[in-house]
């Protein structure tokens, strides 16, 4: 049983972001990391194999600029076997549907039983890509799970509900998306990093997927950015020192009343 | 194929079959946005007739509802197929869905079936001159991005709308055509719920909360979360937490606010013993008023607080809870 993990390379949260004039992110200006949610997907994929529930390969699938291979190496160093990078200048500015379509077409070329995703990406992510992929491939999907296991030809997980949680399951082959789980993504070991350097990152272009350039990227996008601004953080930053608890409590309550919050 | 001038809302119902508050906000927003296009608006209620009657009071002209249980054991596939088939049949201009995990599952499935564009995490919807412009926070709120559908009016656009973008206002004397619809045959199965577990103590409604009191490692121990619970209680708010305390097992993951937890936008956010690291900040920075209590005057949280209180939370929080209870006449 093979597991594919779809991984997005995203700008580090701690970095300043700016948009290019065409409304897309200036990716060259910031350090890229594995989307933190996808790191959990990688960790859970490795654990599924370590548990004996999967014996085949674990493959990373990423759509992004050529520079994404640096981020992919981090995933390979965690213990993933190989990667596929779909990279094509025509993909720049792709919307959710186009991104999902590319991933779905690439998944048709990689035999898998389970395709795992993060539940959201930390850049402009909407948490929608994996459901589009699932629908395009006609597959079931367990989504937004914070625990995941594979047993008896099924993938099963725990998903938060209004009153607690639901145990959800789907027969394989299936799609799964994970949130933060209890398993902190492992740090690559030194041998892991060395081995990753020799692992394959197979390139794929649009032509390999039978998708025409005009259907994806900025020209094929169904949504377009028309402006952006930094939210003015006009916070007052007023500071009081809590010398006497009662007086401090009165001061805070006065403040809340002045803002009509109590 | 050109769309009509209607904006629709997809309204989720709760365990007792009542429309969820976010659903009513969406119905109100669908009604007011439709009016700007010259349409009458509509709603698809994923629930029984009684829920449709309630939604009809929020100003939309047409309300569809689903009788029976066919959408319950798999909450994703059947509902997505239903909404997709109604879109194909009626061609609404825009469809508003809740920006929740389930709403995102639906939107993805519908987009996958019909090739539609999605605007996710919408916090504002403005219709002017027959064109919708939406505002969404990008990079976890570091930027406010305005965007549009490139083919509005030709192809239905899907919007995932966050709480607070619309208001759940009943409109006087509203009437609607109410119609029962059936789950279509061409359902792609989503996932099956094999067990539903009720957690005692419940689950916080962080996305919809007007007031959130969040606790961090500064509390010192799991027991001290009571300080946060009591303050939240006095303010009528929900409880949230940082990842540090979730990792230590003081509180479940459902309470986590931040990059890999929930994104919240209450009117008041009180941070208790929280340092304010970037991964926490991105989940709460678009809150209304931020009040922080921290003993370290150099804590980063003070850089994005309206009121910063430098002091020991174990002293300040009980006194504050007592003061608020007193002012609210709660004794
Ligand atoms: C990929 C990734 C994702 C992450 N996602 C999230 C996320 O979703 N949410 C999140 O919150 N974090 C997240 N983090 C973790 C984040 O970086 C911080 O580690 C975390 O937010 C710190 O939590 P804290 O403020 O409770 O603890 P600390 O940073 O330890 O801060 C505790 C604070 O309490 C104060 N304090 C101590 N005692 C008292 C007292 N008696 N009275 C008053 N104040 C006191 C201290 O001065 C200190 O400022 C993530 C990190 C990574 C790497
Ligand atoms: N360009 C991409 N390449 C590979 N996987 C992606 C890409 N974009 C999104 N994904 C996957 O889809 C998930 C949800 O992304 P999103 O819908 O953009 O929030 C991510 O956590 C990834 O697992």
Inform me whether the pLDDT recorded for B233 exceeds 90.
yes
In this predicted structure, what is the pLDDT of residue B140? 66
Which ligand 2 atom lies nearest to the CA of residue A120? Answer: 19
The CA-based angle B28-B30-B32, given to 5 degrees, is 70
Beta bridge partners of A59: A4, A82
Instruction: Look up the pTM and report it.
Output: 0.93
Distance CA B281, CA B261 (A): 11
Which ligand has an atom closest to residue A98 CA? 2
State the smallest CA–CA distance between residue B126 and chain A in angstroms: 13
* Mean per-residue pLDDT, B105-132: 97
Query: Which residue in B65, B71, B69, B79 sits closest to B109, CA to CA?
Result: B79
| Side-by-side strand order, sheet with B268-272 | A238-241, B307-310, B289-294, B268-272, B211-215, B238-241
Q: Give dist(CA B92, CA B72) in Å, integer.
A: 25
pLDDT > 90: percent of chain A: 85
- The residue count of chain A comes to 262
Q: How far is the CA of B272 from the centre of ligand 1 (A)?
A: 10
DSSP-based three-state secondary structure for A165: strand
Residue A28 is predicted with a pLDDT of 67
pLDDT > 70 in chain B, percent: 99
How many C-beta neighbours within 10 Å does residue A143 have?
Answer: 27
Predicted local confidence at residue A55, as pLDDT:
92
Q: What is the pLDDT of residue B172?
A: 82
Read off the pLDDT band of B58 (50, 70, 90): very high
Q: Is B268 in Cβ contact with A168 (below 8 Å)?
A: no
Question: Is a pLDDT exceeding 80 seen at residue B331?
Answer: no
Q: How many CA atoms lie within 13 A of A113 on its CB side?
A: 19
Look at residue B144 and tell me whether its pLDDT is greater than 90: no
What's the pLDDT tens digit per position in B218-230?
A: 999 999 999 999 9
Find the range with the poorest average confidence among A170-184, A223-237, B222-236, B307-321: A223-237
Indicate which residue's Cα is closest to atom 25 of ligand 1.
B274
Q: Out of A23, A95, A242, whose CB is closest to B117?
A: A95
**Which residues, in sequence order, are bridge partners of residue A148?**
A157
pLDDT band at B37 (very low <50, low <70, confident <90, very high): very high
Ligand nearest to the CA of B264: 1
* pLDDT value of position B210: 95
Please state the rounded mean pLDDT for residues B252-260. 93
């Amino acid at each position: 049983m093979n597991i594919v993990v779809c991984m997005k390379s995203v700008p580090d949260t701690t970095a300043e972001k700016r948009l290019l004039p065409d409304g897309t992110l200036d990716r060259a200006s910031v350090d890229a990391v594995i989307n933190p949610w996808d790191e959990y997907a990688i960790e859970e994929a490795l654990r599924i194999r370590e548990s004996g529930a999967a014996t085949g390969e674990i493959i990373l699938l990423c759509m992004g600029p050529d520079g994404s291979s640096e981020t992919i190496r981090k995933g390979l160093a965690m213990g993933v076997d190989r990667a596929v990078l779909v990279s094509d200048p025509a993909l720049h500015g792709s919307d959710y549907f186009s991104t999902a379509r590319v991933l779905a077409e690439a998944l048709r070329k990689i035999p898998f039983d389970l395709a795992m995703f993060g539940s959201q990406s930390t850049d402009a992510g909407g948490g929608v890509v994996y459901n589009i992929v699932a629908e395009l491939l006609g597959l079931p999907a367990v989504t937004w799970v914070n625990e995941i296991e594979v047993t008896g030809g099924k993938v099963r997980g725990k998903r938060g509900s209004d009153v607690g949680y639901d145990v959800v399951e789907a027969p394989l082959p299936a799609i799964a998306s994970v949130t933060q789980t209890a398993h902190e993504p492992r740090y690559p070991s030194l041998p892991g990093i060395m081995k990753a350097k020799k692992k394959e990152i197979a390139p794929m272009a649009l032509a390999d997927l039978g998708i025409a350039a005009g259907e994806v990227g900025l020209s094929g996008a169904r949504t377009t950015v028309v402006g952006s601004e930094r939210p003015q953080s006009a916070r007052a930053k007023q500071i009081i020192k809590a010398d006497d608890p009662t007086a401090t409590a009165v001061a805070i309550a006065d403040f809340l009343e002045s803002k009509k919050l109590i | 194929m050109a769309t009509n001038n209607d904006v629709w809302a997809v309204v989720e119902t709760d365990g007792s079959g009542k429309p969820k508050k976010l659903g009513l906000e969406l119905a109100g927003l669908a009604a007011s946005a439709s009016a700007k296009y010259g349409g009458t608006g509509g709603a698809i209620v994923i629930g029984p007739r009684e829920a449709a009657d309630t939604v009809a009071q929020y100003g939309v002209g047409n309300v569809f509802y689903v009788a029976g249980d066919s959408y319950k054991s798999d909450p994703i596939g059947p509902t997505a197929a239903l909404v997709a088939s109604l879109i194909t049949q009626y061609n609404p201009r825009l469809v508003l869905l809740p920006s929740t995990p389930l709403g995102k599952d639906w939107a993805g499935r519908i987009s996958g079936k019909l090739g539609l564009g999605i605007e996710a995490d919408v916090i504002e919807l403005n219709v002017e001159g027959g064109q919708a412009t939406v505002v969404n926070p990008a990079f976890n709120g570091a930027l406010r991005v305005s965007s549009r559908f490139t083919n509005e009016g030709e192809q239905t656009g899907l919007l995932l709308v966050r709480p607070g973008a619309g208001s759940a206002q009943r409109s006087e004397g509203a009437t609607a055509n109410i119609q029962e619809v059936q789950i279509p045959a061409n359902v792609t199965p989503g996932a099956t719920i094999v067990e539903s577990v009720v957690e005692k103590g419940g689950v916080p409604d962080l996305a919809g909360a007007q007031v959130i009191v969040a606790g961090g490692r500064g509390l010192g121990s799991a027991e001290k979360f009571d300080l946060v619970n009591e303050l939240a209680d006095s303010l009528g708010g929900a409880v949230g937490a940082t990842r540090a305390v979730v990792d230590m097992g003081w509180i479940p993951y459902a309470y986590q606010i931040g990059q890999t937890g929930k994104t919240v936008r209450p009117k008041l956010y009180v941070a208790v013993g929280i340092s304010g690291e970037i991964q926490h900040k991105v989940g709460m920075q678009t809150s209304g008023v931020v009040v922080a209590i921290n003993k370290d005057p150099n804590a980063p949280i003070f850089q994005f607080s309206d009121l910063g209180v430098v002091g020991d939370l174990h002293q300040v929080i009980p006194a504050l809870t007592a003061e608020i209870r007193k002012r609210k006449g709660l004794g």
